[in-house]
Structure 1
Protein backbone atom coordinates (compact mmCIF):
# COMPACT_ATOMS: atom_id res chain seq x y z
CA UNK A 1 0.00 0.00 0.00
CA UNK A 2 1.34 3.39 -0.96
CA UNK A 3 1.93 5.69 1.98
CA UNK A 4 0.32 8.81 0.60
CA UNK A 5 -1.53 11.78 2.03
CA UNK A 6 -4.94 10.15 1.57
CA UNK A 7 -3.83 6.99 3.38
CA UNK A 8 -2.28 9.00 6.23
CA UNK A 9 -5.49 11.01 6.53
CA UNK A 10 -7.59 7.86 6.70
CA UNK A 11 -5.33 6.28 9.34
CA UNK A 12 -5.63 9.45 11.44
CA UNK A 13 -9.43 9.17 11.12
CA UNK A 14 -9.29 5.46 12.04
CA UNK A 15 -7.14 6.15 15.13
CA UNK A 16 -9.54 8.88 16.27
CA UNK A 17 -12.51 6.54 15.68
CA UNK A 18 -10.88 3.76 17.70
CA UNK A 19 -10.17 5.99 20.69
CA UNK A 20 -13.63 7.59 20.52
CA UNK A 21 -15.31 4.17 20.43
CA UNK A 22 -13.36 3.13 23.54
CA UNK A 23 -14.60 6.21 25.42
CA UNK A 24 -18.20 5.74 24.25
CA UNK A 25 -18.12 2.04 25.12
CA UNK A 26 -16.78 2.78 28.59
CA UNK A 27 -19.63 5.27 29.10
CA UNK A 28 -22.20 2.83 27.70
CA UNK A 29 -23.31 5.56 25.27
CA UNK A 30 -25.17 3.60 22.58
CA UNK A 31 -26.82 6.79 21.34
CA UNK A 32 -23.46 8.15 20.18
CA UNK A 33 -22.14 4.74 19.11
CA UNK A 34 -25.14 4.36 16.76
CA UNK A 35 -23.91 7.42 14.86
CA UNK A 36 -20.58 5.72 14.11
CA UNK A 37 -21.52 2.14 13.25
CA UNK A 38 -23.59 0.21 10.71
CA UNK A 39 -26.97 -1.27 11.68
CA UNK A 40 -25.43 -4.76 11.65
CA UNK A 41 -22.68 -3.82 14.10
CA UNK A 42 -25.08 -1.75 16.19
CA UNK A 43 -27.23 -4.82 16.94
CA UNK A 44 -24.20 -6.81 18.09
CA UNK A 45 -22.87 -3.98 20.26
CA UNK A 46 -26.28 -3.45 21.87
CA UNK A 47 -26.35 -7.14 22.87
CA UNK A 48 -22.77 -6.96 24.18
CA UNK A 49 -23.51 -3.82 26.18
CA UNK A 50 -26.66 -5.38 27.68
CA UNK A 51 -24.61 -8.46 28.65
CA UNK A 52 -22.06 -6.19 30.36
CA UNK A 53 -24.79 -5.00 32.70
CA UNK A 54 -23.78 -2.47 35.33
CA UNK A 55 -20.08 -3.33 35.17
CA UNK A 56 -18.01 -0.19 34.64
CA UNK A 57 -15.32 -0.19 31.98
CA UNK A 58 -12.34 2.11 32.14
CA UNK A 59 -10.27 1.44 29.03
CA UNK A 60 -6.75 2.75 29.03
CA UNK A 61 -4.97 2.40 25.68
CA UNK A 62 -1.24 2.19 26.38
CA UNK A 63 -0.02 1.62 22.81
CA UNK A 64 -1.85 1.74 19.50
CA UNK A 65 -0.40 0.82 16.10
CA UNK A 66 -2.41 0.91 12.88
CA UNK A 67 -1.95 -0.79 9.55
CA UNK A 68 -4.13 -0.36 6.48
CA UNK A 69 -4.96 -3.77 5.04
CA UNK A 70 -4.66 -3.46 1.27
CA UNK A 71 -7.67 -4.47 -0.79
CA UNK A 72 -7.46 -5.95 -4.26
CA UNK A 73 -7.59 -2.50 -5.88
CA UNK A 74 -4.77 -1.34 -3.56
CA UNK A 75 -6.47 1.95 -2.79
CA UNK A 76 -8.99 3.48 -0.44
CA UNK A 77 -12.31 2.55 -1.99
CA UNK A 78 -15.83 1.86 -0.74
CA UNK A 79 -14.54 -0.35 2.09
CA UNK A 80 -11.34 -0.10 4.08
CA UNK A 81 -9.97 -2.51 6.67
CA UNK A 82 -7.54 -1.43 9.37
CA UNK A 83 -5.56 -3.66 11.73
CA UNK A 84 -5.23 -2.18 15.22
CA UNK A 85 -2.54 -3.64 17.49
CA UNK A 86 -1.39 -2.51 20.85
CA UNK A 87 -1.73 -2.78 24.58
CA UNK A 88 -4.59 -1.74 26.83
CA UNK A 89 -6.34 -2.43 30.07
CA UNK A 90 -10.11 -2.36 30.53
CA UNK A 91 -10.16 -1.79 34.27
CA UNK A 92 -7.94 0.37 36.45
CA UNK A 93 -6.83 -2.69 38.46
CA UNK A 94 -6.41 -5.00 35.47
CA UNK A 95 -3.13 -6.04 33.89
CA UNK A 96 -2.13 -4.48 30.60
CA UNK A 97 -2.96 -6.90 27.79
CA UNK A 98 -2.05 -7.10 24.13
CA UNK A 99 -4.83 -6.80 21.59
CA UNK A 100 -5.31 -7.04 17.87
CA UNK A 101 -8.53 -6.08 16.08
CA UNK A 102 -9.47 -5.63 12.45
CA UNK A 103 -12.05 -2.93 11.86
CA UNK A 104 -13.93 -2.69 8.58
CA UNK A 105 -15.03 0.79 7.52
CA UNK A 106 -17.76 1.37 4.94
CA UNK A 107 -18.14 4.53 2.88
CA UNK A 108 -21.69 5.81 3.43
CA UNK A 109 -21.66 8.62 0.89
CA UNK A 110 -19.46 9.94 -1.87
CA UNK A 111 -17.33 12.35 0.16
CA UNK A 112 -14.14 11.61 2.07
CA UNK A 113 -15.73 12.13 5.50
CA UNK A 114 -18.64 9.71 5.09
CA UNK A 115 -17.48 6.53 6.83
CA UNK A 116 -19.00 4.19 9.40
CA UNK A 117 -17.61 1.19 11.21
CA UNK A 118 -19.21 -1.85 9.58
CA UNK A 119 -17.60 -4.66 11.57
CA UNK A 120 -15.02 -5.33 14.27
CA UNK A 121 -13.07 -8.59 14.30
CA UNK A 122 -11.27 -9.39 17.53
CA UNK A 123 -8.10 -11.28 16.63
CA UNK A 124 -6.43 -11.30 20.08
Structure 2
Protein backbone atom coordinates (compact mmCIF):
# COMPACT_ATOMS: atom_id res chain seq x y z
CA UNK A 1 0.00 0.00 0.00
CA UNK A 2 0.97 3.60 -0.39
CA UNK A 3 3.52 2.95 -3.04
CA UNK A 4 6.13 4.93 -4.84
CA UNK A 5 8.86 3.97 -7.23
CA UNK A 6 11.53 3.56 -4.56
CA UNK A 7 12.16 0.00 -3.51
CA UNK A 8 12.91 -2.15 -0.55
CA UNK A 9 11.08 -4.91 1.21
CA UNK A 10 10.76 -5.65 4.86
CA UNK A 11 8.40 -7.12 7.35
CA UNK A 12 6.69 -5.55 10.32
CA UNK A 13 5.74 -7.61 13.32
CA UNK A 14 2.19 -8.72 13.71
CA UNK A 15 0.18 -6.35 15.82
CA UNK A 16 0.25 -7.52 19.40
CA UNK A 17 3.43 -9.57 18.92
CA UNK A 18 5.51 -7.03 20.84
CA UNK A 19 5.37 -6.88 24.64
CA UNK A 20 3.63 -3.82 26.07
CA UNK A 21 5.96 -0.87 26.32
CA UNK A 22 8.38 -2.22 23.71
CA UNK A 23 9.95 0.44 21.48
CA UNK A 24 8.54 1.24 18.07
CA UNK A 25 10.22 -0.38 15.05
CA UNK A 26 13.55 1.09 13.99
CA UNK A 27 13.46 2.86 10.65
CA UNK A 28 15.96 2.18 7.91
CA UNK A 29 16.75 4.99 5.49
CA UNK A 30 14.46 5.03 2.47
CA UNK A 31 16.13 4.25 -0.81
CA UNK A 32 15.60 6.16 -4.00
CA UNK A 33 13.45 9.24 -4.51
CA UNK A 34 9.85 9.92 -3.73
CA UNK A 35 7.96 8.03 -1.09
CA UNK A 36 8.64 4.35 -0.39
CA UNK A 37 6.07 1.63 0.09
CA UNK A 38 4.55 1.88 3.50
CA UNK A 39 6.18 -0.68 5.73
CA UNK A 40 9.07 -1.29 3.34
CA UNK A 41 11.68 0.22 5.65
CA UNK A 42 10.32 -1.12 8.92
CA UNK A 43 12.12 -3.92 10.71
CA UNK A 44 10.38 -6.89 12.27
CA UNK A 45 10.05 -10.63 12.41
CA UNK A 46 10.86 -12.70 9.37
CA UNK A 47 8.33 -15.46 9.96
CA UNK A 48 6.33 -16.66 6.94
CA UNK A 49 2.59 -16.21 6.83
CA UNK A 50 0.88 -19.51 7.58
CA UNK A 51 -2.62 -20.75 6.94
CA UNK A 52 -4.97 -19.74 9.75
CA UNK A 53 -6.85 -22.22 11.91
CA UNK A 54 -10.54 -22.89 11.38
CA UNK A 55 -11.44 -20.76 14.45
CA UNK A 56 -9.99 -17.58 13.06
CA UNK A 57 -12.92 -15.26 13.88
CA UNK A 58 -14.94 -14.61 17.02
CA UNK A 59 -18.62 -15.57 16.99
CA UNK A 60 -20.70 -13.04 15.06
CA UNK A 61 -17.76 -11.43 13.25
CA UNK A 62 -18.69 -10.57 9.63
CA UNK A 63 -15.44 -11.15 7.72
CA UNK A 64 -16.96 -10.26 4.33
CA UNK A 65 -18.18 -6.87 5.53
CA UNK A 66 -14.88 -6.21 7.30
CA UNK A 67 -12.98 -7.03 4.07
CA UNK A 68 -15.22 -4.65 2.06
CA UNK A 69 -14.50 -1.82 4.50
CA UNK A 70 -10.80 -2.69 4.50
CA UNK A 71 -10.69 -2.41 0.69
CA UNK A 72 -12.37 1.00 0.80
CA UNK A 73 -9.89 2.17 3.43
CA UNK A 74 -6.98 0.85 1.35
CA UNK A 75 -8.13 3.05 -1.55
CA UNK A 76 -8.68 6.07 0.74
CA UNK A 77 -5.21 5.73 2.21
CA UNK A 78 -3.59 5.33 -1.19
CA UNK A 79 -5.31 8.54 -2.30
CA UNK A 80 -4.20 10.32 0.90
CA UNK A 81 -0.66 9.10 0.31
CA UNK A 82 -0.71 10.34 -3.28
CA UNK A 83 -1.77 13.77 -2.03
CA UNK A 84 0.59 13.60 0.96
CA UNK A 85 -2.47 14.19 3.15
CA UNK A 86 -0.89 13.24 6.47
CA UNK A 87 -3.97 14.35 8.41
CA UNK A 88 -6.12 11.69 6.75
CA UNK A 89 -3.35 9.11 7.10
CA UNK A 90 -3.10 9.88 10.85
CA UNK A 91 -6.84 9.19 11.24
CA UNK A 92 -6.39 5.58 10.06
CA UNK A 93 -3.18 4.61 11.91
CA UNK A 94 -1.94 4.10 15.44
CA UNK A 95 0.35 6.93 16.58
CA UNK A 96 3.36 4.59 16.43
CA UNK A 97 2.74 3.48 12.84
CA UNK A 98 1.90 7.00 11.74
CA UNK A 99 5.19 8.29 13.18
CA UNK A 100 7.12 5.61 11.27
CA UNK A 101 5.26 6.30 8.01
CA UNK A 102 5.44 10.06 8.38
CA UNK A 103 9.23 9.82 8.77
CA UNK A 104 9.38 8.25 5.28
CA UNK A 105 7.39 10.98 3.54
CA UNK A 106 9.38 13.45 1.48
CA UNK A 107 7.35 16.66 1.79
CA UNK A 108 9.12 18.14 -1.23
CA UNK A 109 8.59 15.03 -3.36
CA UNK A 110 6.39 15.03 -6.43
CA UNK A 111 2.81 13.97 -5.77
CA UNK A 112 1.83 10.60 -7.21
CA UNK A 113 -1.29 9.58 -9.07
CA UNK A 114 -1.74 5.91 -8.32
CA UNK A 115 -4.26 3.77 -10.14
CA UNK A 116 -5.40 0.63 -8.31
CA UNK A 117 -5.90 -1.92 -11.09
CA UNK A 118 -7.01 -4.83 -8.91
CA UNK A 119 -7.52 -5.25 -5.18
CA UNK A 120 -8.52 -8.26 -3.11
CA UNK A 121 -8.82 -8.41 0.67
CA UNK A 122 -9.05 -11.49 2.87
CA UNK A 123 -9.46 -11.32 6.63
CA UNK A 124 -6.83 -13.77 7.87
CA UNK A 125 -7.83 -13.79 11.54
CA UNK A 126 -9.20 -11.77 14.43
CA UNK A 127 -7.92 -12.30 17.96
CA UNK A 128 -8.38 -10.62 21.32
CA UNK A 129 -5.40 -9.95 23.57
CA UNK A 130 -4.14 -7.26 25.94
CA UNK A 131 -7.53 -5.49 26.08
CA UNK A 132 -7.81 -5.08 22.31
CA UNK A 133 -9.12 -6.84 19.23
CA UNK A 134 -6.50 -7.45 16.55
CA UNK A 135 -7.44 -8.21 12.94
CA UNK A 136 -5.10 -9.21 10.12
CA UNK A 137 -6.19 -8.51 6.54
CA UNK A 138 -4.23 -9.74 3.52
CA UNK A 139 -4.32 -7.45 0.49
CA UNK A 140 -3.24 -8.59 -2.96
CA UNK A 141 -3.54 -6.86 -6.27
CA UNK A 142 -1.82 -4.59 -8.72
CA UNK A 143 -1.39 -0.88 -9.22
CA UNK A 144 0.61 1.61 -11.20
CA UNK A 145 1.55 5.25 -11.21
CA UNK A 146 -0.62 6.91 -13.85
CA UNK A 147 2.50 8.48 -15.38
CA UNK A 148 4.21 5.08 -15.75
CA UNK A 149 2.78 2.13 -17.70
CA UNK A 150 4.62 -0.43 -15.51
CA UNK A 151 2.23 -2.45 -13.31
CA UNK A 152 3.36 -3.41 -9.81
CA UNK A 153 1.88 -6.35 -7.92
CA UNK A 154 1.58 -6.27 -4.14
CA UNK A 155 0.90 -8.76 -1.38
CA UNK A 156 0.80 -7.46 2.17
CA UNK A 157 -0.96 -7.94 5.46
CA UNK A 158 -2.36 -5.05 7.45
CA UNK A 159 -2.73 -5.49 11.19
CA UNK A 160 -5.51 -3.43 12.73
CA UNK A 161 -6.41 -3.01 16.36
CA UNK A 162 -9.38 -1.74 18.31
CA UNK A 163 -9.66 -1.32 22.09
CA UNK A 164 -12.11 -3.66 23.81
CA UNK A 165 -13.70 -0.66 25.53
CA UNK A 166 -14.64 0.84 22.15
CA UNK A 167 -12.76 4.08 22.86
CA UNK A 168 -11.66 4.20 19.22
CA UNK A 169 -12.36 2.47 15.94
CA UNK A 170 -10.06 0.12 14.04
CA UNK A 171 -6.59 1.59 13.45
CA UNK A 172 -3.77 0.15 11.34
CA UNK A 173 -0.95 -0.83 13.69
CA UNK A 174 1.34 -2.63 11.27
CA UNK A 175 1.91 -3.50 7.63
CA UNK A 176 3.76 -6.65 6.65
CA UNK A 177 5.09 -7.12 3.13
CA UNK A 178 4.56 -10.76 2.10
Report the CA distance between 1:40 and its aligned residue: 1.0
Paired residue secondary structure (2:62)? helix
Greater helix share, structure number: 1
- List gaps (5 residues or longer) in structure 1: none
After the TM superposition, list the runs of 4 or more consecutive aligned residues in structure 1 that deviate by more than 2 angstroms: 70-73, 108-111
1:78 — aligned with what? 133
Q: Which has the higher contact order (CA 8 A, sep 6+)?
A: 2
TM-score relative to the length of structure 1: 0.81
CA 1:29 to 1:109, structure 2 compared with 1: closer, same or farther past 3 Å?
Answer: farther
Among 62, 67, 72, the alignment partner of 1:11 is 67
CA 1:7 to 1:110, structure 2 compared with 1: closer, same or farther past 3 Å?
Answer: farther
Q: Which has the larger radius of gyration?
A: 2
2:45 — aligned with what? none
Alignment RMSD (CA, Å):
2.3
Number of residue pairs matched by the alignment:
117
Report the CA distance between 1:5 and its aligned residue: 6.7
CA 1:81 to 1:95, structure 2 compared with 1: closer, same or farther past 3 Å?
Answer: same
Report the CA distance between 1:114 and its aligned residue: 1.3
Among 95, 114, 117, the alignment partner of 2:172 is 117
Contact 1:108 1:116 (C-alpha < 8 Å) held by counterparts = no
CA 1:37 to 1:72, structure 2 compared with 1: closer, same or farther past 3 Å?
Answer: closer
TM-score relative to the length of structure 2: 0.58
Report the CA distance between 1:71 and its aligned residue: 4.9
1:53 aligns to 2:85 (yes or no): no
Q: Residue by residue, what CA displacement relative to the aligned partner does 1:31-67 show, whole Å, maximum 9, x if unpaired?
A: 11111100111111111113x6322211111011111
- List gaps (5 residues or longer) in structure 2: 1-55
